[in-house]
Amino acid sequence: MPFPGCLILVVGPSGAGKDSLMSGAQAQLPRNGRFRFVRRYITRPAEAGGEDHIPIAPDVFQKLVDERFFCLHWQAHDLLYGIPVTINDEILDGRTVIANVSRSVLDTARTNFPYVRIINVTAPPDILAARLHGRGRESLSDVTKRLGRSVQVAGNDVFEVVNDGSIEDGIRKFTTLINAFTEGGTPAAAQ
């Protein structure tokens, strides 16, 4: 019997391929309502590129924070990010909710949700640097700063996906973990 109500949080450094793996997994996992990939609210214009997000003005974002519209929210790279509180109902209904978040909100999520699993997507520094340069969204100085931020993610609920091969291989590792979590399993790290 499937494990009810799972929140899967995806973290990792810029350039590790989180959005690509999530997009690939979303295309491969059954479209039966069991899985929900969260669109984040971000104070970034829609035309800025990157992930499919809900653009929002900073003053409106703050108003929604005050109204407790977000269950998780944070600031990173001069932008504000939020995950809507509506995911609570989906988790209670037994869905697996998957969201790309900042490492800064992991403890809040662990406190507020009964079943949290964390996928830490990583890649070697040379691959991260090449991917960040390839995006063309940041200066060389900004890329260097991002690469200098090495933060460890630890806990019994953290599982690593090393995304250093083909996109297909990364998606396979990622979806294997998601499927294991939704069955209540404790898989080995996806190397």
Mean pLDDT score, 38-45: 94
Q: What is the pTM of this model?
A: 0.86
What tens digit of pLDDT does each residue of 94-138 get? 999 999 999 999 999 999 998 999 999 998 888 887 777 666 556
Please tell us whether the domain made up of 6-38+88-182 is placed in CATH 3.20.20.80: no
Per domain, the residue ranges of the chain are 6-38+88-182
**Predicted pLDDT at 137:** 59
Whole-number pLDDT of residue 118: 96
Confidence tier at 157 by pLDDT (50, 70, 90) = very high
Digit-coded pLDDT (tens) for 51-61: 789 999 999 99
Contact 51, 163 (CB under 8 A): no
How much is the average pLDDT of 175-188? 77
Q: What are residue 97's DSSP bridge partners?
A: 7, 36
d(CA 33, CA 138): 37
pLDDT at 15: 80
